[in-house]
Amino acid sequence: MALGSQPMDILGDRQSGQDVRTQNITACQSVSNIVKTSLGPVGLDKMLVDDIGDVTITNDGATILKMLDVLVELAELQDREVGDGTTSVVILAAELLKRANDLIKNKIHPTSVISGYRLAMRESCKYIEDKLGVKVDMLGKENLVNCAKTSMSSKLLATDDDFFANLVVEAVQSVKMTNARGEVKYPIKGINILKAHGKSAKESYLLKGYALNTGRAAQGMPMRVSPARIACLDFNLQKTKMQLGVQVLVTDPRELEKIRQREADVTKERIEKLLKAGANVVLTTKGIDDMALKYFVEAGAIAVRRVRKEDLRHVAKATGATAVSTFADMEGEETFDSSFLGYADEVVEERIADDDVILIKGTKTSNAVSLIIRGANDFMLDEMDRALHDALCIIKRTLESNTVVPGGGAVEAALSVYLEDLALTLGSREQLAIAEFAKSLLIIPKVLAVNAAKDATDLVAELRANHKTAQTGADNKHLSSLGLDLVRGTVRNNLEAGVIEPAMSKVKILQFATEAAITILRIDDMIKLAKEEGQDGQNYFYTRCADADQQYVVLDFETAHISCRIDDPSRQFDLW
């Protein structure tokens, strides 16, 4: 359908330009204000109640935003890539948007702001890598513990950070492995965190071996098997039943008993194949019925049912087993090869708190460890779990990237001073955007100081003055590590004080926050189409298009497909 030059009449609302931008930025500001007070070692916790009344008490930015369902992708991206810094990335993105909006109101084109922000982000990342990053090798092992402590400083574990930091570092170093390309990796998914009620938090401990939060399927099975040959199954070991919809017509009652017997024998044959292949530990994600358990008890094997799929994958990877979802082979026969089995030094059942757990120790291909965390109640254990997850991710990133930077607002203050100087060297409109980017970075030290009930204005001014001195003279390099001491309310050398973070975390925060801000800045038009109900219950909207006949067109609201053309709008539903 050829459209002429006449405008389209759409039944609905349209907002353009500044109104849309302000609306989006106000929404981001609101979200930022919610998480802002949880940043830093003296940040506050949030209590979130979902639609079915479940309560979550947390300080973790990713969890707060996940529960709120807004700016989720930005927080999740940071959580996935780094594991920590989710609160910072949202606060920075909101501040960048706020300042960009002010520039646009002052007649700076959004394209100029976007290109300025991109340039500032690239220069910031380069400056972190060239000037602010310090190699972990030069600082020694205690710096891994300090990285973990910095990550935990704003969490529930802050009071026992020394104990938990050492626990986390030991756990991450236990799963060290070298991949096919010769790269050293730390697969922290091999670290299982088990939550057990009772005792104090400091009675948490590290177990060498992968722990499954379940016990043996029957009491007659042995408590310990060594050496263990493990079969990982993803199907039922229960009496076989006919598929739904299959009908068998039986004329002789004696044949019925044979069918029942054959159903029982199929499962028996499968178990015999497993045992014949050498399996003495069988893990399955589905059920095992009592009839099947009898065969495992007689063979002296351990069988475990209802294992989580995620746990099964990790056990298979650690022991070298193959997760099997069917016994059928290419010829249609049922077989189980011994090459599918995984190996471990021993599998043992132990009792932790009130629960039985299966421990798989001495795994074949990669080390697996479990953190058993103790605590008073569910809320405490859940928050400890989140804090340990962040700390594990930070240690992994620190070891793999091998570069750390001082924390406590040191990086943001240094970048702010550097970018302000950089902006003055540019003669284009980007100068203003880069200057605003520099000011936006100061939101992190400001929020840290405000949350600690300190004078943010004085502290940030002193911090900036020191970083300016550090960047102007070669003899003042030591000042580039200055950050905030939020307990005393002073400025100190955070590298020496052990307040450090992986450089990768800061780089990703800058990249993700900038990209998120740019994405929202690019939106300047929003059209909401009004819904109207068709007689068949479908939604349609109507628009007059300037085609040759000046006809009305009925469009389906959901798909925007043309349903029909009509000459007279009063006849619009004659066809239905």
Quick: pLDDT tens for 303-336. Answer: 999 998 888 988 888 888 888 888 877 777 788 8
- List strand residue ranges (DSSP E) for 436-493, in order: 482-485, 490-493
Q: Measured on CA atoms in the order 296, 326, 269, 243, is the torsion positive or negative?
A: positive
Which tokens go with 378?
A: 């569910």
CATH 3.50.7.10 boundaries in the chain: 210-366
Mean pLDDT, residues 4-32 = 63
The C-alpha atoms of residue 155 and residue 149 are separated, in whole angstroms, by: 10
Based on the residue annotation, tell me whether 214 is a catalytic residue of this protein: no
Catalytic residue, candidates 84, 311, 390, 485: 390
- φ/ψ of 529, rounded to 5, equals -90, 135
- List strand residue ranges (DSSP E) for 340-497, in order: 342-352, 355-363, 369-375, 403-406, 482-485, 490-493
Catalytic residue, candidates 58, 63, 87, 363: 87
Catalytic residue, candidates 45, 56, 58, 60: 60
Q: Does residue 32 register a pLDDT over 80? A: no
- Helix H, strand E, coil C: the string for 478-543 is HHHHEEEECCCCEEEEHHHHCCEEEHHHHHHHHHHHHHHHHHHHCCCEEEEECCEECCCCCEEEEE
Strand partners, 3: none
Mean pLDDT, residues 530-542 = 51
Band (357; pLDDT cuts 50, 70, 90): confident
Q: Which of 567, 559, 545 is nearest to 1 (CA)?
A: 545
Catalytic residue, candidates 56, 58, 86, 284: 86
Band (553; pLDDT cuts 50, 70, 90): very low
The C-alpha atoms of residue 570 and residue 501 are separated, in whole angstroms, by: 68
Based on the residue annotation, tell me whether 390 is a catalytic residue of this protein: yes
Q: Does residue 570 register a pLDDT over 60? A: no
Based on the residue annotation, tell me whether 455 is a catalytic residue of this protein: no
Q: What percent of the chain is predicted at pLDDT more than 70?
A: 79
Strand partners, 554: 542, 564
Length of the chain (residues) = 576
Q: Which of 435, 529, 470, 516 is nearest to 119 (CA)?
A: 435
CA-to-CA separations, 402 to 172, 185, 292, in angstroms, rounded: 14, 12, 52
- The domain made up of 210-366 has a fold known as GroEL (3.50.7)
Mean pLDDT, residues 256-274 = 81
Give 48 or 402, the one with higher predicted confidence: 402
Band (175; pLDDT cuts 50, 70, 90): confident
- Number of other CB atoms surrounding residue 238 within 10 Å: 16
CA-to-CA separations, 228 to 58, 188, 202, 269, in angstroms, rounded: 40, 24, 32, 22
In the prediction, which pLDDT does 121 show?
Answer: 94
CA-to-CA separations, 103 to 16, 320, 433, in angstroms, rounded: 17, 58, 8
Q: Does residue 42 register a pLDDT over 70? A: no
Q: Does residue 351 register a pLDDT over 90? A: no
Which tokens go with 6?
A: 């006449």
Which tokens go with 471?
A: 């960047």
Band (61; pLDDT cuts 50, 70, 90): low
Band (136; pLDDT cuts 50, 70, 90): confident
Mean pLDDT, residues 112-130 = 92
Least confident segment among 230-239, 248-257, 454-463: 248-257
Give 83 or 208, the one with higher predicted confidence: 208
Whether pTM > 0.85 for this model: the answer is: no
Least confident segment among 14-28, 518-532, 551-565: 551-565
Based on the residue annotation, tell me whether 556 is a catalytic residue of this protein: no
Cα angle: 66, vertex 72, 77; to 5 degrees: 110
Band (436; pLDDT cuts 50, 70, 90): very high
Q: Does residue 18 register a pLDDT over 90? A: no
Q: Does residue 540 register a pLDDT over 60? A: no
Cα angle: 541, vertex 543, 545; to 5 degrees: 155
Band (505; pLDDT cuts 50, 70, 90): confident
